A and B are shown apart, each in its own frame.
Chain A
Amino acid sequence: DTGVSQDPRHKITKRGQNVTFRCDPISEHNRLYWYRQTLGQGPEFLTYFQNEAQLEKSRLLSDRFSAERPKGSFSTLEIQRTEQGDSAMYLCASSLASAGGYGYTFGSGTRLTVV
């Protein structure tokens, strides 16, 4: 098991373009989380899945954001019509539903720069 993988590591895009990020969790983990980390801040919760079901979305996740986890495996996070305020590190993490209190395993993140 290689841990949580995120692709790409870096993405530079022009304002108004759409971008999609991918996260591959640890295979036996049924929970998958997305967080956003802006400069000088701690990560903030965006959304989470249990298996293929998206169970909660933060108010931070505007209508331009959508996340999917087909078949309860990998997940994608899409941002439509990107804005400069979307520039951030997007972190994915996974865990077992029964073991959230033991912490998540995080990926290395995707750093998005909107120019």
Chain B
Amino acid sequence: AQTVTQSQPEMSVQEAETVTLSCTYDTSENNYYLFWYKQPPSRQMILVIRQEAYKQQNATENRFSVNFQKAAKSFSLKISDSQLGDTAMYFCAFMYSGTYKYIFGTGTRLKVLA
């Protein structure tokens, strides 16, 4: 079965610093997508960034970037210039190409400190 592992239950970072959240996954397939979602306290989940497995170039969205290592099945999220509003639960998720179901990790709770 496919699994997504987030080994850091909680992390903290000082405002304006950089933090990296880890995610590993297990699959034997070649075509899939990877996502990072942010879930602020009591608010909806928001897509932060996505990566298509066939693309070697790492995705970036403003202060957010990923380090996608397909052979190692690793998909880490780097947040640069951390802001107080980045405080949230972050979920890594996997989806097979052509399907519709996410497999989520257990999440990393990130706290940005002033």
A102-B50 contact, Cβ under 8 Å, with A42-B91, A42-B105, A45-B101 = yes
| Distance of A88 Cα from B105 Cα, bound (Å) | 17
Q: Assess the A101–B106 pair: CB atoms within 8 A.
A: no
Q: Assess the A40–B95 pair: CB atoms within 8 A.
A: no
B84 located at the interface, meaning its Cβ lies under 8 Å from any Cβ of chain A in the complex: no
- B-contact 0/1 string along A57-70, CB 8 Å cutoff: 00000000000000
| Distance of A102 Cα from B34 Cα, bound (Å) | 10
B66 located at the interface, meaning its Cβ lies under 8 Å from any Cβ of chain A in the complex: no
Q: Assess the A44–B44 pair: CB atoms within 8 A.
A: no
A85 located at the interface, meaning its Cβ lies under 8 Å from any Cβ of chain B in the complex: no
Q: Assess the B100–A100 pair: CB atoms within 8 A.
A: yes
B16 located at the interface, meaning its Cβ lies under 8 Å from any Cβ of chain A in the complex: no
Q: Which residues of A (10-37) have their CB < 8 Å from a CB of B?
A: 31, 33, 35
Q: Which residues of B contact A74 (CB under 8 A)?
A: none
CB distance from B40 to the nearest CB of A (A): 10
- A-contact 0/1 string along B35-59, CB 8 Å cutoff: 1010000111111001010000000
CB distance from B66 to the nearest CB of A (A): 14
Q: Assess the A33–B100 pair: CB atoms within 8 A.
A: yes
Listed in ascending order, the chain B residues whose CB lies under 8 Å from chain A are: 4, 33, 35, 37, 42-47, 50, 52, 91, 93, 95, 97, 99-102, 104-107
| Interface pairs (17), CB distance under 8 Å | A31-B100, A41-B107, A42-B107, A43-B45, A43-B102, A45-B101, A48-B101, A56-B101, A101-B33, A101-B52, A101-B95, A102-B50, A103-B35, A103-B50, A107-B44, A108-B42, A108-B43
